[in-house]
Structure 1
Amino acid sequence: MIKVDNLNYSYTKDKNYALKNVSFQVEQGEVFGFLGPSGAGKSTTQGILTGLLPIQEGSGQVAGYDLRKFDRKVFNRIGVSFEQSNVYGKLTALENLEFYRKLFDVETMDPEELLKLVGLDHVKNKKAGTFSKGMKHRLTFARSMINKPSLWFLDEPTTGLDPAIAGSIKDIVKEKNKEGTTVFLTTHNMFIADELCDRVGFIVDGQLKVIDSPRNLKLQYGKKVVQVEYLKGEKLETALIDLSNEEERLLLNEIVKDGHIEMMHTKEATLEEIFIRLTGRGLV
């Protein structure tokens, strides 16, 4: 669905690149996470992929269309949910979606069904300008689905949302992906990426550092550690045991044999910890 080679982009049109030789591809039906801190190049890459920014150097294809010869027909196949909501404040929620659906040459979803899906059906006749930031974000998210996109660009889809609503948004993404929608997710939230993505790419300072599945990254760069809480006499003890260390494995065996374990669980490395280890950068 997406293939780009050696993308370079400079906002100042000199050698001060916001993107530097970025190459990757996204297969049909996968959820691909593009992860990095603010200013890393995530939005610039998405801008090029969605036609908002021109290709300066490099090449690419999106949904079968050459990025150098961008055809407006590609917009029938893609959906974009921006981090910064850009709905029409003087129109109601329903009017926003009714207007937007008229821009497409393909079958669209029922606006009222979409509003119900994101929990805005009860305010469908209220002007979007009166909405909270989170409600505007949900309306933008709903709008991005209206043309039944085969390729769906999501930029921080759960930002500013309470946990319950964020959970609903993630469930919608999972369901649409099961139906065959390819998802390109840009985020700095590693927990969401870990939950949703088949593969992730780490980008820092405009350079793509690594691409792999969250599981493979954890296996390759994380330690296999078990945390055990157990009773030693009447005292509760806690041990962090590295399973790659033979002596510590023997200690775990002794604890298990004693049979006084209160709690035991793995302490796998998080994607954020691996990101920092590989890039030397945090996500802020």
Structure 2
Amino acid sequence: METAISVEALKKHFDNEEALKGISFEVGKGEIFGLLGPSGSGKTTTIKILTGELEPTGGQVEVLGYPYQAFKRSGYVKSLGILSDNSSLYDRLTVKDNLTLFRKLYGTGQAKVDQVLKDVGLSNHINKRVKDLSKGMKQRILLCKAVLHEPEVLFLDEPTSALDPVTTDSIHEMLLKIRSRGTTIMLTTHNMDEATALCDNVAFLNDGIITDNGSPDALRQAYKSNTMHVTYDDGTKKQIPVNLENKAQLEAALFDTNIVNMKSDYPTLGEVFKKVTGKELV
């Protein structure tokens, strides 16, 4: 797969603080890549470097063939879509006026505005003032703003933080549509369920260091333990290691009518993160 983003030994220092301690990863074109970790792990700093808001202290960074020294060039800026905590809308204007303004800046037609609003289910709110929208609606409009010009790479910093499940699902559906059109998406999140649902590959970032990386399924497989967890109808619970010695016991459990639940020890991505770092995702 062709590489869209290449990061090698990236470092970032703020005075005496090491925010990033030499991280490396690659993102393929047309891939959704998740940079996962708790607050303060260095996720936002990484996004700000890749979008040209910050300069690295050390290491090599390249996006779409542009080195970080060229991130201020108009050609690079126009190829990006960005949704971050700095993204904003004009509260006094309507949704239509906001997106019309931005689509003129990007040089795109009105049809694109109609399309992105339809994608996030907000076509019926086009004439509402932004100040009258809920937080979830505003987040969806910000996402529309970020993709109006069909960017080659979309950077999302905590895109669904503090949103309700329905709004989150709506944004997830839109991101999958955008990816299907060939856009590369890099997102930061501490929501491991979100990463499992969306990402082709992820990297665990903790205290400025990448502790592991791979596809969500591969990481879950790598950290599972071969144990069956069995729950009986009287509330008794039992763990049975999966091995040849326990073959007869496991086979018998499959047909035991007193068992109400039987499941393998297949960890969630959040449980894998905890195993790798020893930390909770907060």
Letter in 2 for 1:21: G
Scaled by the length of structure 2, what TM-score is found?
0.89
Q: What is the CA distance between 1:165 and its match in structure 2?
A: 2.2
Q: What is the CA distance between 1:19 and its match in structure 2?
A: 1.0
Q: What is the CA distance between 1:269 and its match in structure 2?
A: 0.7
Equivalent position to 2:269, from 265, 268, 271:
271
- Pair 1:69–1:106, CA change in 2 (3 A): farther
Aligned length: 278
Identity %: 38
Partner of 1:174: 176
- Pair 1:237–1:280, CA change in 2 (3 A): closer
Partner of 1:4: 7
SS in 2 for 1:110: helix
Cα root mean square deviation, aligned: 2.2
- Pair 1:65–1:196, CA change in 2 (3 A): same
Equivalent position to 2:207, from 191, 205, 208:
205
- Contact 1:111/1:146 (8 A) holds in 2: yes
Work out the CA distance in 1 between the residues paired with 2:266 and 2:110: 43
SS in 1 for 2:49: helix
Work out the CA distance in 2 between the residues paired with 1:265 and 1:40: 33
- Pair 1:178–1:110, CA change in 2 (3 A): closer
Q: What is the CA distance between 1:82 and its match in structure 2?
A: 1.7
- Contact 2:136/2:167 (8 A) holds in 1: no
Scaled by the length of structure 1, what TM-score is found?
0.88
- Pair 1:213–1:91, CA change in 2 (3 A): same
* 1:187-232 residue CA offsets vs partner (Å, 9 max, x unmatched): 000011111111110111111111111122112112233344456x
Work out the CA distance in 1 between the residues paired with 2:235 and 2:41: 45
Work out the CA distance in 1 between the residues paired with 2:279 and 2:54: 27
* 1:98-139 residue CA offsets vs partner (Å, 9 max, x unmatched): 111222257786213222221222221222122222221111
Q: What is the CA distance between 1:248 and its match in structure 2?
A: 4.1
Partner of 2:45: 44
Partner of 1:282: 280
- Contact 1:60/1:68 (8 A) holds in 2: no
- Pair 1:44–1:108, CA change in 2 (3 A): farther
Partner of 2:240: 241
- Contact 2:100/2:110 (8 A) holds in 1: no
Q: What is the CA distance between 1:257 and its match in structure 2?
A: 4.4
Letter in 1 for 2:8: D
Q: What is the CA distance between 1:237 and its match in structure 2?
A: 5.2
